[in-house]
Amino acid sequence: MKQDLKELIYLREEEAMNLELSLNMVKTMKRYWNEFKDYCNNKNISYYDINKLHLYLKDKYNCLLTNNITSLSKKQKEAIKAMLLLVNINNISEYKVITYKDINLSNYYKDVLNNYLDFWRNVKNNSETTIIDKKRYTILFFDYLTKNNIDNLAKLNKKIILKYLDYVKDDILSRKIAIYWNLKSIFLYLNDSNILKNYFNLLIPITKRYKQKKLHTYFSKEDSDAIVNAIKVEVNNNPCGYRNYAMILMIARLGIRKIDVINLKWENINWQNNTITFIQSKTKKINTLPLPNDVGEAIIDYIKLERPIKIRGNDDYIFIRSYYPLTKISENYSFNEIIKRALIECNIPLDKYKQKGTHSFRHTIATELINEQVPVKIIASILGHNNVNSTKTYLEVNKQSLSLCFIGEDYE
């Protein structure tokens, strides 16, 4: 029996989520699966056919569907792995991706790394999310140096850096830009710290970090409410249904960033005054918001009906994992698949919204407020922005309404 290609890919995405694979690995697989789907659509193919899978790899990457991938490029390896997992995702154990967490650096590079991260954490006051990104790309760079017999930064030279730049040139654009910026950061730090006097930062290509013209997705008010209600209906059909509903409701009603909801502790909620006060991970600024009754009730339902009474270790965090060890949820935890299922339940076409993550709720709130002609200064306060210019980026979705808003004096 023929299997619809779109349904097959959706099924694989569901299975990938149930296997609790890393977010990066799921994103990589989905990217190639969707590319394969587009390839088939262009050829008017709607059903899965392994022969078309062979043609896709041959046409797009000049390679074959094989388990022998040692001599291929990084993109060829990724494409083949993704296609093999599309055929049978139960083979996932054969294609375990080595991440930066699996790399064991020498004591010398560990010391340099720790000092570098402490600088950005304590001197530059970067968020932990930013620190994790710097850690990831620095470990990968140091590991590359080690494999090329550069066991000390004093041995670093122009040739090996250019070789590394050539090594990462075929990476996806967003990650390549992050790699470039982190390299510049490392070399400037080494120079300022007198660890290594160098000009190596000049070798790194100049790239633009962000494209402000690209506007983010926001849900319509009706769709936002429908998505939240669909997730509420399913609370009893998921081992962490009450938790997910409470977290998504908080994001949808208050516009709090996902990472700040994950990091919420008992001390952040004032039940007597019905407020939530927390330090934002991104800006390091304190934000206080009202606690709506439905959000408070959702949290209480989670505590009473689902959250384990006794957990080992730190019990400060409100929302914890649904499986052992019962600790705080990973900051990389994604609600995308939950929101996608809710869209399907509401009969909302999946292609209506390009992005289907929790941040779209944040854009929805910003759009609602600007449509109601709320002053930008107040919207910035609700969203927890340091500067009104950050808020105006969100509000580009409705320039006509934005022109009617009173900005007043600069918001700092």
Active site residue 385: yes
Q: Which two tokens stand for residue 18?
A: 């149930």
Active site residue 282: yes
Which amino acid is it at 180?
A: Y
Centre a 10 Å sphere on the Cβ of residue 58 and count the other Cβ atoms it contains. 12
Active site residue 394: yes
User: How many Cα atoms are found within 13 Å in the side-chain-facing hemisphere of 380?
Assistant: 22
Q: Which of 12, 232, 340, 385 is catalytic?
A: 385
d(CA 81, CA 64): 11
Active site residue 359: yes
With CA atoms as reference, report the closest residue to 363 among 213, 227, 216: 216
Q: Which of 60, 216, 359, 377 is catalytic?
A: 359
Q: Which of 32, 95, 394, 411 is catalytic?
A: 394
Q: Which of 136, 232, 243, 257 is catalytic?
A: 257
Active site residue 199: no
Cα–Cα separations (whole angstroms), residue 204 to 58, 191, 200, 341: 33, 15, 7, 42
d(CA 36, CA 79): 9
Q: Which of 282, 317, 333, 377 is catalytic?
A: 282
User: How many Cα atoms are found within 13 Å in the side-chain-facing hemisphere of 280?
Assistant: 17
3-state secondary structure 251-291: HHHHCCCHHHHHCCEHHHEECCCCEEEEECCCCCCEEEEEC
Q: Which of 37, 328, 341, 362 is catalytic?
A: 362
**183 burial level (CB within 10 Å; 0-12, 13-18, 19+):** buried
d(CA 260, CA 269): 13
Residues acting as catalytic residues:
257, 282, 359, 362, 385, 394
